[in-house]
Chain A
Amino acid sequence: MTPTIQTERLILRRPTKEDWPVYRGFMMTDRAGFFSSSGDLAQTWKSWAAELGHWEMYGIGMWAVTRQDDDMIMGLVGPWTPPHWPENEIGWMMLSSAAEGKGFATEAARASLTHAFDVLGWQTAVSYVWPDNTRSVRLAEKLGAVLDPNAQAPSEDTLVYRHPKVAA
């Protein structure tokens, strides 16, 4: 059964093919500059397919973040656990500038961490952040994550933030 999570203001649900136009719109703008497939429609399509494929492969993945009264995807937040990743990650990517500044990413990331620890049984969780991505760095710090300089990163230029284990 696919987990759906309700928070105070949000529904986190499995992403679907219907979310593709919003994802495409985001990735084809300058705002998506941190992501390697941005600006290339063919690569963007494949990266969306991989996003859906992660769910198919593991039964879990990054949730589509939606408002409770509006099913439109605002971002992707949640577990990202590919086999080549050093550790299990809680990742985030906000697609909608209209949704920014409202704390939705924080709310979704907190719910994801709780689910990862309490339901999925993770012992620890990290987030991989590019140093230049100041919004992302701020979010990690807001969540109480701290830089772990000894942790293995998926690539040299990536920061590893380790999350505190939240109480059940």
Chain B
Amino acid sequence: MIPILHTERLTMRAPRWDDFEAYAAFCASPRTVHLGGPFPRCDAFHKLAAVLGHWHLRGFGRWMVADAKTDEPLGIVGLYYPEGWPEPELAWSLFDAAEGRGVAFEAAIAARDYAYDTLGWTTLFSAIEPKNTRSVALARRLGCTQSGSFYHEIYGDLHQWRHPAPEARP
């Protein structure tokens, strides 16, 4: 039920149990500091399994972004709409292995195109913790503009970055 997306350098696919170690390492790393982390291994399994369950509950969700050649897991990117979220979000979390290669940008474009062109959505935002300057930079590169904010019990104040509408995509 989870479609596979192919980009120039990436395969976006369903997470598998053998992605767990890479994901658990990410969860335990400082990379999750803007996401309520770091998280222990027991949380990592629930979070990874929930990425799959999200597809069942919503009909869309996030992909494991993997290197198209080696299948090495590089991050989780896609459409995120858990209970308590104001509207569906384009979310990204990248592992150390994805560093400095434009992986997040490439995967985010593919996920956004999927939302607009396959699902027929007309708007999309990304929720970003204001101190997460790298995510803010990526949002800008994707053509987003800051459009508001909301408060979340765990994550605190999150800024909403609005993506260009389907016809306004760069």
Contact = CB atoms under 8 A, between A and B. Distances in A.
Contacts of B82: 42, 45-46, 49
B53 interface: yes
B84 A49 contact: no
B6 interface: no
B57 A20 contact: yes
Size class of the contact patch on chain B: 20 to 34
A155 B123 CA distance: 44
A17 B50 contact: no
Interface in A4-62: 16-17, 20, 41-42, 44-54, 56-58
B170 to A, nearest CB: 33
Contacts of B154: 42
Interface residues of A, number: 24
B46 A47 contact: yes
A56 B42 contact: no
Which 8 pairs across A and B sit closest by C-beta, in order of nearness? A49-B53, A53-B49, A45-B83, A53-B52, A52-B53, A53-B53, A49-B50, A42-B84
Interface of A: 16-17, 20, 41-42, 44-54, 56-58, 82-84, 154-155
23 contacts: A41-B83, A42-B153, A46-B83, A48-B57, A49-B51, A49-B54, A49-B56, A50-B46, A50-B49, A50-B53, A52-B52, A53-B48, A53-B50, A53-B52, A53-B56, A57-B16, A57-B17, A82-B49, A83-B17, A83-B45, A84-B41, A84-B44, A155-B42
